[in-house]
Amino acid sequence: MNRSRKFIITLLAAAILLPAVLSAQSMDAARARLKGEYDRSQEVIERARNVIAEASQYRQYQIVNISVGLAQKVLNNAEQMQNSARDGLNSDAAVVIGASLKLTQQARDKAWRAINIIKEARDRLNSQTEENENIVQRQLEKTDQLAARLEANMGADSPRRLSEMFDSARDNQRRAWELYYKKQLRPALRLSLQAEKSLNKLTELVKAGQGNGQRLENQLRLLEQQMEQARLMAAECSSPEAAQIMARLEESYRNCRQLAAENAPGRFEQNMKQARQMYRRLSELCSGENELQTKIHQMKAELERLRDMAGTTDGVAAGLLDSAAEHISEAERLCASNQSDACAGHIKAAQMSLRKAKELLGK
């Protein structure tokens, strides 16, 4: 009976103590599980911190800068949850342990989200960089082609100023390629665009120069024709001044030929202007001299005709004719002495006397 009583007492004690033992074992298991989940979350959080720190070195790119800011906010939220989950590691309350387990799992999910944000930004940046490389490469190739066409059109005899501009643009383009190979795309693009702008301007200058060259050649051709006429006038002109004018005209003509070959329109126009002035002066001098001689011959013929008409019947008319003859004789002397203005004055006086005599004679 005593043995039966002891068994019953032992059984009742076991029945009372077993739930407490089982409950303690369950808490230990729950805490162990929480600890494992917590450590896993902490590893992901640390990884996210490293990923964000590495990406922060490239915040000069807008897409990375925005993504780093967003990922950091998500990670901060994850760290707050992880800190709250730490309370369950030493708790004996199942509710606290369960809540901490959920928090650390959510923290890990957010840490992964922060990592993915950076990964997506990096992928987009790589894609954008590859696209940018293609854009810069096309620009570089475009500028190379422009430089090749321009170099072919310029020739070896291009003016020094244009050659220096071309060399400067080509140097910029060479540096642009070097920057491109170093993956410095923005400065490479900027230099290549600058070179392209210079080459386009230079192309316009070369075209204008070629147009000027044709215009200078046309003007020079006209001057050559005038030179033939000027040489004939000077050879037949009795004025000593004609030889001096012709010498200056020949000098201006030689200068025009040289400046046309050098494609120097400014100085060409200056010398062309001087040549035109010399040609006009020679033409006025020699053509005017011939004109005066022609008038003298005409007046002498008119004088003889009127003398025959007047005879000795009209003393006034005869006096006018004598006066005309004196003026004609003086005009011949002055023209022979290259005194053109004085010669012209006597011709005019002779013409007046002849006209009055003609009126008196009624013819």
Q: Are residues 34 and 79 located together in one domain of the fold? A: yes
What is the pLDDT at residue 52? Answer: 93
| 9 has pLDDT over 60 | no
Q: Are residues 77 and 141 located together in one domain of the fold? A: no
Mean pLDDT of 147-172: 77
The whole-angstrom separation of Cα 327 and Cα 306 is 16
Tally the C-alpha atoms within 13 A of residue 66's C-alpha that lie toward its C-beta.
Answer: 7
What is the pLDDT at residue 334? Answer: 81
Q: Are residues 93 and 65 located together in one domain of the fold? A: yes
Q: At 16, is the pLDDT very low, low, confident or very high (cuts 50, 70, 90)?
A: very low
The tens digit of pLDDT for each residue in 85-123 reads 888 888 888 888 888 889 999 999 999 999 999 988 887
Q: Are residues 6 and 128 located together in one domain of the fold? A: yes
What is the pLDDT at residue 128? Answer: 66
- Last residue in a domain, options 209, 227, 261: 209
What does the mean pLDDT of the chain come to?
80
Total count of domains within the chain: 2
Domain that holds residue 174: 133-209
The tens digit of pLDDT for each residue in 271-288 reads 888 888 888 888 777 765
In a domain, 151, yes or no: yes
The tens digit of pLDDT for each residue in 196-217 reads 888 888 877 777 655 455 667 7
In a domain, 197, yes or no: yes
* % the chain with pLDDT above 70: 83
What is the pLDDT at residue 14? Answer: 39
Q: Are residues 16 and 88 located together in one domain of the fold? A: yes
Mean pLDDT of 34-47: 92
What is the pLDDT at residue 13? Answer: 45
Q: Which of 103-112, 225-234, 241-250 has the lowest mean pLDDT?
A: 225-234
Higher pLDDT, 119 or 128: 119
Q: Are residues 7 and 124 located together in one domain of the fold? A: yes
Contact 78, 111 (CB under 8 A): yes
User: Measuring CA to CA, which residue among 149, 223, 140 is closest to residue 175?
Assistant: 140
Q: Are residues 158 and 182 located together in one domain of the fold? A: yes
In a domain, 355, yes or no: no
What is the pLDDT at residue 316? Answer: 80
In a domain, 20, yes or no: yes
In a domain, 255, yes or no: no
The whole-angstrom separation of Cα 265 and Cα 259 is 7
End-to-end CA distance of the chain: 196
Q: Are residues 7 and 119 located together in one domain of the fold? A: yes
Mean pLDDT of 343-358: 86
Measured CA distances, 35 to 53, 82, 119, 171, 258 (Å): 27, 12, 29, 65, 97
Q: Are residues 120 and 143 located together in one domain of the fold? A: no
- Last residue in a domain, options 185, 209, 233: 209
Q: At 47, is the pLDDT very low, low, confident or very high (cuts 50, 70, 90)?
A: very high
Q: At 57, is the pLDDT very low, low, confident or very high (cuts 50, 70, 90)?
A: confident
Q: Are residues 84 and 159 located together in one domain of the fold? A: no
Specify the length of the chain in residues.
Answer: 363
What is the pLDDT at residue 10? Answer: 44
Q: Which residues contact 10 (CB under 8 A, 6 or more apart)?
A: none
In a domain, 254, yes or no: no
What is the pLDDT at residue 42? Answer: 92
What is the pLDDT at residue 20? Answer: 44
> Could you tell me the sign of the dihedral formed by the alpha carbons of 56, 57, 59, 63, in that order?
negative
Q: Are residues 35 and 137 located together in one domain of the fold? A: no
- Last residue in a domain, options 114, 132, 150: 132
In a domain, 237, yes or no: no
Q: Are residues 160 and 128 located together in one domain of the fold? A: no
What is the pLDDT at residue 11? Answer: 41
In a domain, 172, yes or no: yes
The tens digit of pLDDT for each residue in 304-341 reads 778 777 665 557 887 888 888 888 888 888 877 767 77
Contact 314, 350 (CB under 8 A): no
Contact 328, 296 (CB under 8 A): yes
Number of H helices, E strands in the chain: 9, 0
Contact 310, 339 (CB under 8 A): no
